[in-house]
Structure 1
Amino acid sequence: MSVHLWLGFLAVTCVVALSPGPGAVLSMSIGLRHGYWHALRGILGLQTALVLQMALVFAGLGAVLAASEHAFVLLKLAGAMYLVWLGVQKWRASIGEEGQEPADAPVPGGFYRQGVLVNLGNPKAIVFIAALVPQFIDASAPRPLQFLVMVATMCSIDILVMSGYAVLASRFRRVAGSDRAVRLQNRVFGGLFISAGLLLAGTSRG
């Protein structure tokens, strides 16, 4: 991949990463409730899914998903239901003493798993990557090296952007620790997850 192609890919990656989506909602939700280091687990989960999506595209399976209406719909509905489920769980999370939420307490691997499932459940992301990546592939250069460069670029930018969302949200933890504030957070982020799920359910491949 030439420097010119890479700069173009970098610019597009920045625009995509900065566009708010379920990943940003997840990062802010965990950051606000549990702090950045817990949010980082979810962010790393998002990147794991992104690497898998890129691998599918390079293996040619992204084109299959883009062409198969049934596969797209099944994956889309699964992802939408998971986002709605997350939203309902967040909305209904109980409030304990000193603003603690037993239903939303940090669980080893839990936030990481959420990150993986949130990104993997979005088939439109795979279709988008399948349409985007070929425009920046240099046919005369080794594909494995280009795959590594693209994955490193996308993951690095996404980690920076999601970390920014999480850190910004975590700054409000001190003023958002009361029972009333926690309950409001649950309602807001629960509603955002449910809305994201419903929007995903209504999307098409185009």
Structure 2
Amino acid sequence: MDYHVWFAYVVTAIVFSLAPGSGTVNSISNGLSYGTRKSLAAIAGLQIGLAIHIVLVGAGIGALVAQSALAFSVIKWVGVVYLIWLGIQKWRDTESVSAKAAHESRSAGQLLRSAVLINLTNPKSIVFLVALFPQFIDPAGDQFQQLMILGITTVVIDSLVMLGYTSLASQMGRYIRSDRVMGRINKVFGSMFVGCGALLAAAKS
């Protein structure tokens, strides 16, 4: 995989991880309730769930590339459309993250299992990966190597972002809960998603 392709993926993956979602809600809630150290188990759980999705998506894309170049191309264009649609939806979303501190104490194991289920049952993650991965894969290259690079990059970036959200929540929880602030954040990331989709479309024309 060329360095410039990987760097472009890093930028896109950062936007994906930063955009508010179920993993964000979980990280913020745990940060408010348990602090950063205890919440590390939950962050690990989120990454386990994400890694399972990555394996499933990677296996499917690899099989698709081997069978049909046309189908692979169609998936790439569907991915462009999805990124732009997601950006529009995110721009219109003004709902705040409901990060309510829990009153019951939970063990690290419970936090980990809960986080795994949160990501495993989140269809947006696997749909986004299906839309995203093909944009950065060279069908003529080593599929396994490329998917490994993209997968590891995704997990590392998401881990760091969730750690950042968790740490931030313990310090600035009341601001994160604000509808006005979250509305502004959503508009910023909505614009980024649309921009990523537009750039990918331009690169294919």
Match of 2:148 in 1: 148
Distance 1:10 1:151 in 2: 11
Distance 2:108 2:61 in 1: 32
In 2, are the aligned partners of 1:32 and 1:172 still within 8 Å (CA)?
no
In 2, are the aligned partners of 1:54 and 1:126 still within 8 Å (CA)?
yes
Partner of 1:35: helix, strand, or coil?
Answer: helix
Count, aligned residues: 143
Match of 2:168 in 1: 168
Structure 1, residues 127-149: CA drift from partner, whole Å, max 9, x if none? Answer: 22112101111223322221221
Q: How does 1:17-36 map to 2 (within 5 A)?
A: 17-36=17-36
| TM-score when normalising by structure 1 | 0.61
Match of 2:139 in 1: 139
Match of 2:159 in 1: 159
Q: Give unpaired runs (5+ residues) of structure 2.
A: 65-97, 179-205
Distance change in 2, residues 1:149/1:37 (3 Å): same
Match of 1:113 in 2: 113
Q: CA deviation at 1:161?
A: 1.0
Match of 2:49 in 1: 49
Q: CA deviation at 1:172?
A: 5.8
Distance 1:122 1:50 in 2: 10
Structure 1, residues 28-64: CA drift from partner, whole Å, max 9, x if none? Answer: 111111111121111111111111111111111898x
Match of 2:127 in 1: 127
Partner of 1:60: helix, strand, or coil?
Answer: helix
Distance 2:46 2:8 in 1: 23
Match of 1:185 in 2: none
Q: CA deviation at 1:9?
A: 0.8
- Please state if 1:14 is matched with 2:14: yes
The code of the aligned residue for 1:122 comes to N
| TM-score when normalising by structure 2 | 0.62
In 1, are the aligned partners of 2:49 and 2:120 still within 8 Å (CA)?
yes
Q: Once superposed, what is the RMSD of the aligned Cα atoms?
A: 2.9
Q: How does 1:49-68 map to 2 (within 5 A)?
A: 49-60=49-60
The code of the aligned residue for 1:139 comes to P
Match of 1:79 in 2: none
